[in-house]
Chain A
């Protein structure tokens, strides 16, 4: 009987993970970036890259998003908003930091009005470096994050992982 329950639970968990991996809805937040990364994120929606192939959909409401794509070095003014949006997202949620600024502050590192990276404000699951990363790199990063979800070691919450830059 116990085994049956276990099997049932496992199947349900597997189904959930499958759905989660195949239907990542993303929300984009610009925390003070130069637009470069943001435009590249937008470019991933367009015919050449078309992320709808992976089920990735850009959502407008934080309530309906699974993954937060965050660009920019996080300015003081944007910090509170970022925290609020992160709080509004329902569990399970993941954060992807996109671009050098979001990783470390980039050229703006040390500027007093910036927090030097997204991970100083909210926990980040994946980092995608580049100034800006190419759309391919962004897609690769998100897909890598997703594949880490179905990896057996991290069923519930994935460990932060570094996504390699796609060679140009």
Chain B
């Protein structure tokens, strides 16, 4: 399958939820899917998985800064030559995402990282321990957020 076919297939999978999603093609090899409701995330991933498009390459979180109330989380699936990005928005405060571990066990480390670095709760994660940050790291401080203040650490 070349990139074109993969993306067509992917859009057909995604379009079964089309009452809640919009898709765009920023470049010929990429398909961006805006997932508007969190409940749909797991079913879409299952759908991709069933069609063997479910190789999760990375989870990226974008924090626009404290003025914005929301952060954007990108799930990058990279089957073959194509890139499928599921874009989900979560609130900055008390945001939560469903865990993909049931579908993709390898997602666990990405989700733990997401939780540690950005403070996004992952519901259904089995081991929510620290993965990267030191043991004596202060609670509720998320280093990858734009408004992270390193002075918190020196006070510690």
Dominant SS at the B interface?
loop
Report the minimal beta-carbon distance from B69 to chain A, rounded to whole angstroms: 26
Q: Does B153 contact A (CB under 8 A)?
A: yes
Asked whether A77 lies within 8 Å of B134 as measured between CB atoms, the reply is yes
- Indicate if the CB atoms of B134 and A112 lie closer than 8 Å: no
Using Cβ atoms and an 8 Å threshold, which residues of chain A touch B136? 76
B150 at the A interface (CB under 8 A): yes
In B122-145, the 8 Å CB interface with A consists of: 133-137, 143
- A75 interface residue (CB < 8 Å to B): yes
* Chain B interface bracket (under 10, 10 to 19, 20 to 34, 35 or more): under 10
Q: Could you say which residues of chain B place their CB within 8 Å of the CB of A80?
A: 135
Q: Count of A residues near B, CB < 8 Å? A: 6
Query: Is residue A113 contacting chain B, with contact meaning CB distance below 8 A?
Result: yes
Closest partner residue, chain B, to A79 (CB atom): B134
Interface positions, chain A 103-124, Cβ under 8 Å from B, are: 112-113
Residues of B within 8 A of A77 (CB): 133-135
Chain B nearest CB, measured from A65 CB (Å): 25
For A75, the chain B residues whose CB sits under 8 A away are 134
Which residues of A, 45-91, contact B by the 8 Å Cβ criterion?
75-77, 80
CB–CB B135/A112 < 8 A: no
Q: Tell me the minimal C-beta distance from A77 to chain B in angstroms.
A: 4
What residues of B have a CB within 8 angstroms of the CB of A113 in the complex? 133-134, 143
Closest residue of B by beta carbon distance from A75: B134
Give chain B's interface residues, CB within 8 Å of chain A.
133-137, 143, 150, 153
Name 10 A/B residue pairs within 8 A (Cβ), A-sorted.
A76-B134, A76-B137, A77-B133, A77-B135, A112-B143, A112-B150, A112-B153, A113-B133, A113-B134, A113-B143
Return the 9 tightest CB-CB contacts between A and B, nearest first.
Answer: A76-B134, A77-B134, A112-B150, A112-B153, A77-B135, A113-B134, A112-B143, A76-B136, A75-B134
